[in-house]
Amino acid sequence: MGKVIAVANQKGGVGKTTTCVNLAASLAATKRRVLLIDLDPQGNATMGSGIDKYEVENTAYELLVEEKSFEEVVCRDTNGKYDLIAGNGDVTAAEIKLMEFFAREIRLRNALAPIKDDYDFIFIDCPPSLNMLTVNAMSAADSVLVPMQCEYYALEGLTALMDTISKLGSMVNPGLHIEGILRTMYDPRNRLSNDVSDQLKQHFGEKVYRTVIPRNVRLAEAPSFGAPAMYYDKSSAGAKAYLALAGEIIRRAEQLDLAEQD
């Protein structure tokens, strides 16, 4: 199978990294082979997986710029039971160095090609901007998962993201599509959240995941423990929500497979 999913939203603080770490762990817990790639220089997904971003020897920089082999760069079996390509401040340098290369948009796609089918799911945690790293993520990806908070300006930002996805699609990656839209940090008691959520469903229909991620303090605490929430407090609402999301994603993928066989 080897499905590559970029987790992107140019807005910061919407739950991209939290989604990457917890969804990757949830899918790994169902015996899927999962790889997470941290393309954000902040290295939050790396720390949240229990890998010290200040100590780690190789990162996405070595993969993208120095062309070190995947085998040299990958961190096996992190605290979330998935494999990780780490990210840290060096990845900022990668963004600049990439500009020097021919075919700079497809460096990541080329680097992943030999190992893509060793995994069931590959998630790419994107930085909060539409830069060359995000372009590399979207060129390597089959689809884009968009986490969003249901607040007033969210829909506006989403339109800009959709434009980028369709432009990139026509330029470097014709098959690129929206994997799903995920409502994060959701508070059902907030009327605005409900309104925005309704509008989302009107615009994007079935693309909006049924699973909603609630605001849950355990999800915010888990990174300081260096592990996904399910290994910190498995009965927490946050951990359960990401397990439910993993189930929804697996069911969707199976339905697609069935439809393609018909």
Which residues make beta-bridge pairs with 83?
A: 35
Q: How far is the CB of 44 from Mg ion (least distance, A)?
A: 5
17 binds Mg ion (CB under 5 A): yes
Report which residue's Cβ sits closest to Mg ion: 17
> And the tokens for 77?
């079996």
Q: What backbone phi and psi angles, to 5 degrees, belong to 227?
A: -155, 155
Picked from ligand ADP, Mg ion, none, the partner binding residue 215 (CB below 5 to 8 A depending on kind) is ligand ADP
Q: What backbone phi and psi angles, to 5 degrees, belong to 34?
A: -125, 140
Q: Which stretch binds Mg ion (CB under 5 A): 43-51, 132-140, 165-173, 186-194?
A: 43-51
Q: How far apart are CA 108 and CA 103, in angstroms?
A: 10
Are the CB atoms for 48 and 218 separated by under 8 Å?
A: no
Q: Which stretch binds Mg ion (CB under 5 A): 39-47, 138-146, 152-160, 216-224?
A: 39-47
| Binding-residue pattern over the window 61 to 100 for Mg ion, x denoting contact by CB under 5 A | ----------------------------------------
User: Residue 49 or residue 216: which is nearer to ligand ADP going by CB?
Assistant: 216
22 binds Mg ion (CB under 5 A): no
**Whose CA is closest to 149, among 259, 12, 36, 55?**
12
Q: Which stretch binds Mg ion (CB under 5 A): 11-19, 73-81, 95-103, 246-254?
A: 11-19
User: Residue 15 or residue 180: which is nearer to Mg ion going by CB?
Assistant: 15
User: Residues 6 or more apart from 220 whose CB is under 8 A from it?
Assistant: 18
Q: How far is the CB of 40 from Mg ion (least distance, A)?
A: 5
Q: How far is the CB of 187 from ligand ADP (least distance, A)?
A: 10
Residue from the set 3, 11, 16, 32 that interacts with Mg ion by CB under 5 A = 16
| Residues found near ligand ADP in the complex (CB under 6 A) | 12-18, 44, 128, 184-185, 213, 215-216, 219-220, 238
The residue behind tokens 């790419």 is 124
Q: How far is the CB of 215 from ligand ADP (least distance, A)?
A: 4
Picked from ligand ADP, Mg ion, none, the partner binding residue 181 (CB below 5 to 8 A depending on kind) is none
Q: How far is the CB of 3 from ligand ADP (least distance, A)?
A: 21
**SS3 track for 48-106:** HCCCCCCCCCCCHHHHHCCCCCHHHHCECCCCCCCEEECCCCHHHHHHHHHCCCCCHHH
Q: How far apart are CA 244 and CA 184, in angstroms?
A: 13
Q: What is the largest CA-CA distance in the chain?
A: 51
Residues at the interface with Mg ion (CB under 5 A): 16-17, 40, 44
